[in-house]
Amino acid sequence: MKLKYILLALLIGFGTSASKAQDYDVGIMGGLSGYQGDLAPGLDNGLINAFRGERPAIGGIYRYNFHPHFSVRGNLNIGWVAAYDKYYNKGTSRESRNLSFNSPIVELSGTVEYNILRFISGSNKYKWTPYLFGGFGLTYIHPMAWYNGKLVNLRPLTTETGKQGSSYSPIQAVIPVGGGLKFSLKNDWVLGVEAGWRIMFTDYLDDVSTNYTGDNSGSMSANLGNRTGKPVAAGTKRGNPGYKDSYFIYGITLTKTLRPYKCR
């Protein structure tokens, strides 16, 4: 009998704490987006060089807090990623490869947040917490490169073997994972600092994956596929298909909590 009453008390306590945390956050994110893939700078030329490809990112947030430890969140993020062999990989074999790309990132995703500590916006007791998140999303990519003074869409071109025009979709699935810290401010505002990794299932965010085609015809596809300035035999390694591309979004979030009551 005692066990029954203990379980009942726990259920009532969980339900009570959950009902006190049912509120909504709306807000914005501002920060940077970065890229990891076949053209990523790496650490060959120092730590500073590894961050040269970072670009601005912005986003919108809608979050439903259904428990002091748990929230579900919708995200719309817009960023940019880019990499240049000749700038980021001086003194390495990649410098002579001379590949480059630019792509916008437009991501719509849903994530679950786990607050490691109890957190309620506006509370004088549960005012801050580290948190983790994970979920699923879709991202629009559009890799481009400069050619004769203009940005050219790379996706429809046969720039390497195994890629026969438009062979990958501009809409790609991603798995966002990451974490951060959030702090309750006055008047139900919440300030956060977070970093997230987007795991992708494509190796063509940068339009680089397999081997050179051996095409030396001088066409736009040939010139954008081989930017070494000299003929390269078909089948020569251009990228590494063994690792998928990915990108990062990190920055500061600011949200406003909307609720029908005040929590103190």
Kindly state whether residue 98 falls inside one of the protein's structural domains: yes
Question: pLDDT band at residue 40, thresholds of 50, 70 and 90?
Answer: confident
pTM of the model: 0.86
The amino acid that residue 98 corresponds to is N
Quote the number of domains for the chain.
1
Query: Does some domain include residue 224?
Result: no
Residue 15, pLDDT above cutoff 90: no
Q: Per the domain annotation, does 150 fall within a domain?
A: yes
- Residue 116 domain-assigned? yes
Q: Are 238 and 215 in contact (CB under 8 A)?
A: no
Here the CATH number for the domain that contains residue 99 is: 2.40.160.20
Alpha helices in 51-134 (DSSP H): 85-88, 93-97
From residue 17, give the alpha-carbon distance in Å to each of 54, 66, 263: 41, 9, 12
Considering just the CA atoms, what is the radius of gyration of the chain in Å? Answer: 23
Residue 169 has pLDDT above 90, yes or no: yes
Environment class of 190 (CB within 10 Å of its CB; exposed 0-12, middle 13-18, buried 19+): buried
Proportion of the chain in helix, strand, coil states, percent, rounded to 5: 15, 45, 40
Domain that holds residue 195: 20-209+244-258
CA dist 52 and 50 (Å) reads 6
Closest CA to 252 of 72, 28, 65, 64: 28
pLDDT tens readout for residues 93-144: 788 999 999 999 999 999 999 999 999 998 889 999 999 999 999 999 999 9
Q: Is residue 109 part of a domain?
A: yes
Residue 197 lies in a domain: yes
Q: Does residue 231 lie in a domain region? A: no
Instruction: Tell me if 228 is assigned to some domain.
Output: no
